[in-house]
Amino acid sequence: MTENSAPKPVLTARNVSIEYEVDPPVKAVRDVSLTLNRGEILGLAGESGCGKTTLAYGLNRLLKPPALMTAGEITLHDRSGEDIDIVALGTEQLRAFRWDKVSMVFQGAMNSLNPVISVKAQIFDIFDTHRPGMSRAAKTERAKELLTLVGVDTNRLTSFPHELSGGMRQRMMIAMALALDPQVMIMDEPTTALDVVVQRGIIREIMRLREKLGFAVIFITHDLPMLLEISDRIAVMLQGEIVEQGTAEEVYRNPQHDYTKRLLSSFPSLTGERGDFVRTGLQQSQEQVR
């Protein structure tokens, strides 16, 4: 996409609401509207429990009872020019849609691999489901290509998950999410359980792959400084609602909502005085208690 070209949406959500049908019902997502443009990284920030993961599952039709989408529209604007109504897809259509059009790297993804099956077998499962006519040689070649893409030695194909480091397992999950060349990848806290050095490597890898392959990313985290660094646009979520949206620069330079301002001020400056940060944090805590 050139600087002068208008952004082209790849995924649109309009007025999405999701409830947990318990007693009393919990409104986890409230009238959320988002547009993800082709090839961009949209950061979704907010505290734990604000509805980020529930929204992610809703966008990919992965909700399970008691969660229920009660309102809204979700549309994928396919490369072919067709608009796909995700909400209207039946069971078999969804089975073909997921991983092919929209893939997901789940929260705690590095523990999502099956511990008793080799990495190769788990990648082959994707091809067996979505590309049943693919030859074994072609599957092996593609699996090696995927590992090379995410910076893992192809000899690791025969490894079992317990033989891999946390960073390698996370890269394997990203490789599997890329297996069918999806147009959208939803990443739910993909680096939370990793140390900061490995986190940085994973983030660099995601940025490189986005540039190389052109997929769009919804990157979900409570780490707003990270999103400011990697995102094209940011949406801030609070109590099930999107309270602010804008470019990363706009959110950083001119935050509009009080919650966004509190998020930004909750991280210490590398150059500011320690006392000022502590006093500011204490004042905010006291205000919240009052």
Per-residue pLDDT tens digits of the chain, which is 290 residues long: 445 567 899 999 999 999 999 999 999 999 999 999 999 999 999 988 999 999 999 999 999 999 999 999 999 999 999 999 999 999 999 988 999 999 999 877 667 889 999 999 999 999 999 999 999 999 999 999 999 999 999 999 999 999 998 888 889 999 999 999 999 999 998 877 678 888 888 888 899 999 999 999 999 988 888 899 999 999 999 999 999 999 999 999 999 999 999 988 877 665 656 545 444 443 554 454 44
Q: Total structural domains in the chain?
A: 1
Flag whether 166 is in a domain.
no
Largest Cα–Cα distance of the chain, in whole Å? 65
Between CA 50 and CA 239 the distance in angstroms is 5
- Hunting for tokens 């040689």 — which residue is that? 137
Flag whether 126 is in a domain.
no
Flag whether 288 is in a domain.
no
Flag whether 238 is in a domain.
yes
Flag whether 41 is in a domain.
yes
Which amino acid, one-letter code, is at 166?
Answer: G
Flag whether 74 is in a domain.
yes
**What angle, rounded to 10 degrees, do the helices at 136-149 and 119-130 form?**
120
**15, containing H or E segment:** strand 9-20
Residue 204, number of CB atoms within 10 A of its CB? 12
Q: Which domain holds residue 18?
A: 9-112+183-196+207-283
* CATH code of the domain containing 192: 3.40.50.300
* Backbone CA torsion sign across 105, 106, 111, 113: negative
Structure tokens at 154: 């192809």
Q: How many CA atoms lie within 13 A of 158 on its CB side?
A: 1
Flag whether 155 is in a domain.
no
**Single pTM value for the model:** 0.87
Flag whether 219 is in a domain.
yes
